[in-house]
Chains A and B, each alone.
Chain A
Amino acid sequence: MKHFLTTITAILILITMGLVNSSMASAEQVEIVVKVVHASKNGNEVHDNVKELYSRLSKMFDFTSYKMLLNVKEKGDYSQKQIITLPNNQKLILTPIEKDKDFHIKVEMEIEGVIKTDFRLKDGGTIILGGTKHKDGVLILVIKITEL
Protein backbone atom coordinates (compact mmCIF):
# COMPACT_ATOMS: atom_id res chain seq x y z
CA MET A 1 0.00 0.00 0.00
CA LYS A 2 2.82 2.36 0.93
CA HIS A 3 4.59 1.58 -2.34
CA PHE A 4 1.39 2.34 -4.30
CA LEU A 5 0.98 5.75 -2.65
CA THR A 6 4.63 6.63 -3.38
CA THR A 7 4.10 5.83 -7.05
CA ILE A 8 0.93 7.94 -7.28
CA THR A 9 2.69 10.88 -5.59
CA ALA A 10 5.60 10.68 -8.04
CA ILE A 11 3.22 10.67 -11.01
CA LEU A 12 1.35 13.72 -9.65
CA ILE A 13 4.63 15.59 -9.16
CA LEU A 14 5.65 14.84 -12.75
CA ILE A 15 2.28 16.00 -14.12
CA THR A 16 2.50 19.24 -12.09
CA MET A 17 6.05 19.89 -13.38
CA GLY A 18 4.85 19.34 -16.94
CA LEU A 19 1.99 21.82 -16.53
CA VAL A 20 4.29 24.43 -15.00
CA ASN A 21 6.81 23.94 -17.78
CA SER A 22 4.20 24.32 -20.54
CA SER A 23 2.79 27.47 -18.96
CA MET A 24 6.33 28.88 -18.73
CA ALA A 25 6.99 28.00 -22.36
CA SER A 26 3.99 29.94 -23.56
CA ALA A 27 5.44 33.00 -21.84
CA GLU A 28 8.80 32.74 -23.66
CA GLN A 29 10.02 35.69 -25.62
CA VAL A 30 11.74 35.64 -28.95
CA GLU A 31 14.76 37.69 -29.92
CA ILE A 32 15.13 38.70 -33.55
CA VAL A 33 18.44 40.07 -34.82
CA VAL A 34 18.53 41.52 -38.33
CA LYS A 35 21.79 42.61 -39.95
CA VAL A 36 21.34 44.52 -43.18
CA VAL A 37 24.32 44.37 -45.51
CA HIS A 38 24.69 46.31 -48.74
CA ALA A 39 26.55 44.18 -51.27
CA SER A 40 27.79 45.46 -54.59
CA LYS A 41 30.40 44.87 -57.26
CA ASN A 42 31.53 48.46 -56.97
CA GLY A 43 34.80 48.66 -54.98
CA ASN A 44 36.50 46.22 -52.62
CA GLU A 45 35.49 47.63 -49.27
CA VAL A 46 34.50 45.16 -46.55
CA HIS A 47 33.41 46.71 -43.26
CA ASP A 48 35.01 45.35 -40.09
CA ASN A 49 31.62 44.46 -38.60
CA VAL A 50 30.81 42.41 -41.70
CA LYS A 51 34.04 40.41 -41.80
CA GLU A 52 32.47 37.76 -39.59
CA LEU A 53 29.83 37.27 -42.26
CA TYR A 54 32.12 37.96 -45.20
CA SER A 55 34.00 34.67 -44.91
CA ARG A 56 30.70 32.87 -45.38
CA LEU A 57 28.98 35.24 -47.80
CA SER A 58 31.96 35.54 -50.14
CA LYS A 59 31.71 31.82 -50.91
CA MET A 60 28.10 32.25 -51.99
CA PHE A 61 28.03 35.66 -53.66
CA ASP A 62 30.39 37.24 -56.14
CA PHE A 63 30.07 40.74 -54.77
CA THR A 64 33.28 42.57 -53.95
CA SER A 65 32.00 45.18 -51.50
CA TYR A 66 30.13 44.47 -48.25
CA LYS A 67 28.94 47.29 -46.00
CA MET A 68 26.84 46.90 -42.85
CA LEU A 69 24.01 49.44 -43.03
CA LEU A 70 21.86 48.31 -40.12
CA ASN A 71 22.06 46.02 -37.09
CA VAL A 72 18.73 45.71 -35.29
CA LYS A 73 17.84 43.59 -32.25
CA GLU A 74 14.17 43.24 -31.30
CA LYS A 75 12.46 41.23 -28.54
CA GLY A 76 8.82 40.24 -28.43
CA ASP A 77 6.31 37.53 -27.68
CA TYR A 78 5.16 34.86 -30.05
CA SER A 79 2.58 36.22 -32.53
CA GLN A 80 3.90 39.74 -32.01
CA LYS A 81 4.90 41.47 -35.26
CA GLN A 82 8.33 43.03 -35.49
CA ILE A 83 8.57 45.75 -38.16
CA ILE A 84 11.98 46.86 -39.35
CA THR A 85 12.41 49.65 -41.87
CA LEU A 86 15.09 48.81 -44.38
CA PRO A 87 17.53 51.34 -45.95
CA ASN A 88 15.55 51.22 -49.22
CA ASN A 89 12.45 52.21 -47.20
CA GLN A 90 10.82 48.82 -47.59
CA LYS A 91 9.42 47.32 -44.40
CA LEU A 92 10.44 43.88 -43.21
CA ILE A 93 7.75 42.29 -41.04
CA LEU A 94 8.74 39.26 -38.97
CA THR A 95 6.25 37.38 -36.79
CA PRO A 96 7.36 34.38 -34.74
CA ILE A 97 4.33 32.08 -34.57
CA GLU A 98 5.23 29.14 -32.38
CA LYS A 99 7.87 26.68 -31.36
CA ASP A 100 7.02 23.17 -32.45
CA LYS A 101 7.80 19.82 -30.83
CA ASP A 102 11.05 19.60 -32.83
CA PHE A 103 12.22 22.87 -31.22
CA HIS A 104 11.91 24.76 -34.50
CA ILE A 105 10.44 28.25 -34.50
CA LYS A 106 7.84 28.97 -37.17
CA VAL A 107 8.14 32.53 -38.49
CA GLU A 108 6.09 34.56 -40.94
CA MET A 109 8.09 37.00 -43.04
CA GLU A 110 6.93 39.74 -45.38
CA ILE A 111 8.37 42.61 -47.35
CA GLU A 112 5.36 44.27 -48.86
CA GLY A 113 5.19 43.82 -52.62
CA VAL A 114 8.29 41.67 -52.66
CA ILE A 115 7.84 38.52 -50.61
CA LYS A 116 5.41 36.90 -48.21
CA THR A 117 6.21 33.50 -46.84
CA ASP A 118 6.77 31.52 -43.67
CA PHE A 119 9.56 29.20 -42.61
CA ARG A 120 10.62 27.00 -39.75
CA LEU A 121 14.01 27.74 -38.25
CA LYS A 122 16.05 25.91 -35.65
CA ASP A 123 16.11 27.82 -32.35
CA GLY A 124 19.11 30.15 -32.65
CA GLY A 125 19.34 29.54 -36.38
CA THR A 126 20.00 32.01 -39.16
CA ILE A 127 18.32 32.62 -42.50
CA ILE A 128 19.50 34.97 -45.23
CA LEU A 129 17.14 37.01 -47.38
CA GLY A 130 18.77 38.80 -50.27
CA GLY A 131 18.25 40.20 -53.70
CA THR A 132 16.23 43.37 -53.17
CA LYS A 133 17.85 46.23 -55.05
CA HIS A 134 19.49 49.10 -53.30
CA LYS A 135 21.59 51.77 -55.04
CA ASP A 136 24.25 50.02 -57.17
CA GLY A 137 23.85 46.65 -55.45
CA VAL A 138 21.51 44.55 -53.36
CA LEU A 139 20.52 44.23 -49.74
CA ILE A 140 21.36 41.04 -47.90
CA LEU A 141 19.45 40.54 -44.65
CA VAL A 142 20.92 38.13 -42.13
CA ILE A 143 18.12 37.16 -39.77
CA LYS A 144 18.77 35.26 -36.53
CA ILE A 145 15.90 34.10 -34.32
CA THR A 146 16.33 32.81 -30.78
CA GLU A 147 13.88 31.92 -28.05
CA LEU A 148 14.89 33.61 -24.78
Chain B
Amino acid sequence: MSNCSEKQFRNTHLLHDKELADKSEATLKDIVASEKDFLDNLGEEIRRDTREMEQQISFPNMTANIMNKIEADKSLVAVMLDYFKSNSLAFGGLAACLIIFVLALNLKNEILEQDSVVATDTPINTCIIDSIENKNSTSLVLKEEKKEDPVTIIWVFENTDTEKM
Protein backbone atom coordinates (compact mmCIF):
# COMPACT_ATOMS: atom_id res chain seq x y z
CA MET B 1 0.00 0.00 0.00
CA SER B 2 2.58 2.19 0.99
CA ASN B 3 4.54 1.41 -2.21
CA CYS B 4 1.44 1.77 -4.25
CA SER B 5 0.49 4.89 -2.44
CA GLU B 6 3.93 6.33 -2.90
CA LYS B 7 3.90 5.48 -6.56
CA GLN B 8 0.45 6.88 -6.86
CA PHE B 9 1.54 9.94 -5.01
CA ARG B 10 4.50 10.42 -7.33
CA ASN B 11 2.28 9.95 -10.38
CA THR B 12 -0.13 12.43 -9.03
CA HIS B 13 2.65 14.93 -8.45
CA LEU B 14 4.15 14.36 -11.83
CA LEU B 15 0.75 14.84 -13.41
CA HIS B 16 0.26 17.95 -11.45
CA ASP B 17 3.68 19.27 -12.45
CA LYS B 18 2.98 18.49 -16.09
CA GLU B 19 -0.31 20.29 -15.94
CA LEU B 20 1.39 23.21 -14.39
CA ALA B 21 4.08 23.14 -17.01
CA ASP B 22 1.51 22.93 -19.81
CA LYS B 23 -0.40 25.79 -18.36
CA SER B 24 2.75 27.85 -18.02
CA GLU B 25 3.76 27.08 -21.57
CA ALA B 26 0.32 28.10 -22.83
CA THR B 27 0.43 31.26 -20.84
CA LEU B 28 3.90 32.10 -22.11
CA LYS B 29 2.81 31.42 -25.68
CA ASP B 30 -0.17 33.73 -25.19
CA ILE B 31 2.04 36.42 -23.75
CA VAL B 32 4.56 36.08 -26.60
CA ALA B 33 1.79 36.15 -29.20
CA SER B 34 0.26 39.15 -27.58
CA GLU B 35 3.61 40.97 -27.43
CA LYS B 36 4.32 40.02 -31.04
CA ASP B 37 0.98 41.51 -32.12
CA PHE B 38 1.72 44.65 -30.14
CA LEU B 39 5.17 44.99 -31.65
CA ASP B 40 3.82 44.32 -35.13
CA ASN B 41 1.17 47.02 -34.68
CA LEU B 42 3.72 49.42 -33.24
CA GLY B 43 6.06 48.83 -36.15
CA GLU B 44 3.28 49.38 -38.65
CA GLU B 45 2.25 52.56 -36.87
CA ILE B 46 5.81 53.91 -36.89
CA ARG B 47 6.20 53.15 -40.59
CA ARG B 48 2.89 54.87 -41.35
CA ASP B 49 3.84 57.95 -39.35
CA THR B 50 7.21 58.10 -41.06
CA ARG B 51 5.58 57.98 -44.51
CA GLU B 52 3.16 60.75 -43.55
CA MET B 53 5.98 62.92 -42.22
CA GLU B 54 7.99 62.39 -45.37
CA GLN B 55 5.01 63.40 -47.52
CA GLN B 56 4.30 66.50 -45.43
CA ILE B 57 7.85 67.80 -45.20
CA SER B 58 9.13 66.60 -48.54
CA PHE B 59 12.57 68.07 -48.03
CA PRO B 60 14.06 66.01 -50.78
CA ASN B 61 11.64 67.54 -53.29
CA MET B 62 12.35 71.10 -52.16
CA THR B 63 16.06 70.59 -52.39
CA ALA B 64 15.65 69.17 -55.83
CA ASN B 65 13.61 72.19 -56.96
CA ILE B 66 16.17 74.66 -55.64
CA MET B 67 18.96 72.79 -57.28
CA ASN B 68 17.04 72.82 -60.56
CA LYS B 69 16.57 76.63 -60.34
CA ILE B 70 20.23 77.19 -59.58
CA GLU B 71 21.14 75.06 -62.55
CA ALA B 72 18.72 77.04 -64.74
CA ASP B 73 20.18 80.36 -63.54
CA LYS B 74 23.68 79.13 -64.14
CA SER B 75 22.63 78.22 -67.66
CA LEU B 76 21.12 81.69 -68.20
CA VAL B 77 24.25 83.44 -66.95
CA ALA B 78 26.34 81.23 -69.16
CA VAL B 79 24.15 82.07 -72.15
CA MET B 80 24.40 85.82 -71.37
CA LEU B 81 28.16 85.63 -70.97
CA ASP B 82 28.43 83.81 -74.27
CA TYR B 83 26.28 86.50 -75.89
CA PHE B 84 28.37 89.35 -74.49
CA LYS B 85 31.56 87.60 -75.51
CA SER B 86 30.39 86.98 -79.02
CA ASN B 87 28.74 90.43 -79.32
CA SER B 88 31.24 92.57 -77.43
CA LEU B 89 31.18 95.21 -80.16
CA ALA B 90 27.40 95.51 -80.05
CA PHE B 91 27.45 95.57 -76.28
CA GLY B 92 30.13 98.27 -76.24
CA GLY B 93 28.12 100.31 -78.72
CA LEU B 94 25.04 100.03 -76.58
CA ALA B 95 26.95 101.13 -73.48
CA ALA B 96 28.42 104.07 -75.38
CA CYS B 97 24.95 105.12 -76.54
CA LEU B 98 23.70 105.00 -72.96
CA ILE B 99 26.59 107.13 -71.72
CA ILE B 100 26.03 109.69 -74.50
CA PHE B 101 22.31 109.79 -73.66
CA VAL B 102 23.01 110.46 -69.97
CA LEU B 103 25.59 113.15 -70.83
CA ALA B 104 23.13 114.78 -73.22
CA LEU B 105 20.47 114.87 -70.48
CA ASN B 106 22.91 116.52 -68.07
CA LEU B 107 23.94 119.03 -70.71
CA LYS B 108 20.31 119.85 -71.42
CA ASN B 109 19.67 120.46 -67.72
CA GLU B 110 22.69 122.71 -67.51
CA ILE B 111 21.49 124.71 -70.49
CA LEU B 112 18.04 125.09 -68.92
CA GLU B 113 19.54 126.15 -65.61
CA GLN B 114 21.58 128.84 -67.33
CA ASP B 115 18.37 130.82 -67.81
CA SER B 116 18.39 131.53 -64.11
CA VAL B 117 22.11 132.05 -63.64
CA VAL B 118 22.81 134.81 -61.15
CA ALA B 119 26.01 136.84 -61.29
CA THR B 120 28.04 136.52 -58.12
CA ASP B 121 27.93 140.21 -57.29
CA THR B 122 24.19 140.67 -57.68
CA PRO B 123 21.38 139.99 -55.23
CA ILE B 124 20.77 136.32 -54.55
CA ASN B 125 17.65 134.44 -55.62
CA THR B 126 17.19 136.72 -58.60
CA CYS B 127 17.70 136.41 -62.32
CA ILE B 128 18.93 139.09 -64.71
CA ILE B 129 16.30 140.10 -67.22
CA ASP B 130 17.86 143.26 -68.63
CA SER B 131 20.60 145.82 -68.15
CA ILE B 132 20.61 149.61 -68.34
CA GLU B 133 23.73 151.51 -69.40
CA ASN B 134 24.19 155.03 -68.08
CA LYS B 135 26.93 157.62 -68.21
CA ASN B 136 28.34 156.88 -64.77
CA SER B 137 26.81 153.54 -63.93
CA THR B 138 25.49 150.24 -65.13
CA SER B 139 22.24 148.85 -63.79
CA LEU B 140 20.95 145.32 -63.90
CA VAL B 141 17.24 144.60 -64.01
CA LEU B 142 16.57 141.58 -61.84
CA LYS B 143 13.55 139.51 -61.01
CA GLU B 144 12.94 137.31 -58.01
CA GLU B 145 13.17 133.63 -58.76
CA LYS B 146 10.49 131.06 -57.98
CA LYS B 147 7.90 133.62 -56.94
CA GLU B 148 4.33 133.84 -58.12
CA ASP B 149 4.42 137.63 -57.80
CA PRO B 150 8.07 138.48 -58.40
CA VAL B 151 9.29 141.98 -57.62
CA THR B 152 11.48 143.62 -60.23
CA ILE B 153 14.72 145.05 -58.86
CA ILE B 154 16.97 147.55 -60.60
CA TRP B 155 20.42 147.33 -59.07
CA VAL B 156 22.81 150.19 -59.77
CA PHE B 157 26.54 149.62 -60.05
CA GLU B 158 28.27 152.96 -59.97
CA ASN B 159 31.42 153.01 -62.06
CA THR B 160 33.55 153.86 -59.04
CA ASP B 161 32.02 151.03 -57.07
CA THR B 162 34.27 148.01 -57.22
CA GLU B 163 33.09 146.73 -53.88
CA LYS B 164 31.15 143.50 -54.03
CA MET B 165 27.86 143.22 -52.26
B113: interface (CB < 8 Å): no
Q: CB-nearest residue of chain A relative to B132?
A: A117
A136 to B156, CA, bound (A): 16
Is A60's CB under 8 angstroms from B156's CB?
A: no
Interface size on B, residues (CB 8 A): 21
| Chain A at the B interface: SS class | strand
Q: How far is the CA of A56 from the CA of B152 in the complex (A)?
A: 12
Indicate if A100 sits at the interface (CB-CB under 8 A).
Answer: no
A-B contacts counted at CB < 8 A amount to: 67
B108-165 with Cβ < 8 A to chain A: 123-126, 132, 134-137, 139, 144, 151-158, 161, 165
Q: Is the interface of B mostly helix, strand, loop or mixed?
A: strand
Q: When A61-B165, A133-B161 are in contact, do A117 and B154 touch as well, CB less than 8 Å?
A: yes
**Residues on the B chain within 8 Å of A117, using CB:** 132, 139, 154
Q: Is B136 in contact with A126, judged by CB distance below 8 angstroms?
A: no
* A115-148 interface bits toward B, Cβ cutoff 8 Å, 1 = contact, 0 = none: 1110101000011111111000010000000000
A43 within 8 A of B: no
Q: Interface size (A, Cβ < 8 Å)?
A: 22
Q: Say if the beta carbon of A59 comes within 8 Å of chain B.
A: yes
Interface pair A130/B151, CB less than 8 Å apart: no
Instruction: Determine the distance from Cα of A59 to Cα of B132 in the docked complex, in whole angstroms.
Output: 24
CB pair A127 B137 closer than 8 Å: no
* Shortest beta-carbon distance from B140 to chain A in Å: 9
A62 to B123 Cα, complex, angstroms: 8
Inter-chain contact A113/B136, CB cutoff 8 Å: yes
Contact with A along B63-89 (1 / 0, CB 8 A): 000000000000000000000000000
Q: Is A19 positioned at the interface, with any CB of B under 8 Å from its CB?
A: no
Task: Kindly name the residue among A62, A115, A116 whose own CB sees the greatest number of chain B CB atoms within 10 A.
Answer: A115
A79-117 vs B, Cβ < 8 Å mask (1 yes, 0 no)? 000000000000000000000000000000001011111
A-side contacts of B161, CB under 8 Å: 131, 133
- Complex Cα distance A119/B144, Å? 17
Which 3 pairs across A and B sit closest by C-beta, in order of nearness? A131-B156, A60-B123, A128-B153
Q: List 6 A-B contacts (CB under 8 A).
A: A60-B125, A111-B156, A114-B134, A114-B136, A114-B156, A128-B151
User: A129-B156, A130-B153 are known contacts; what are 14 more A-B pairs with Cβ within 8 Å?
Assistant: A56-B151, A59-B144, A60-B125, A61-B165, A111-B156, A114-B137, A117-B132, A127-B151, A127-B152, A128-B151, A128-B153, A129-B154, A130-B156, A132-B158
User: Using a CB–CB distance below 8 Å, which chain A residues touch chain B?
Assistant: 56, 59-62, 111, 113-117, 119, 121, 126-133, 138
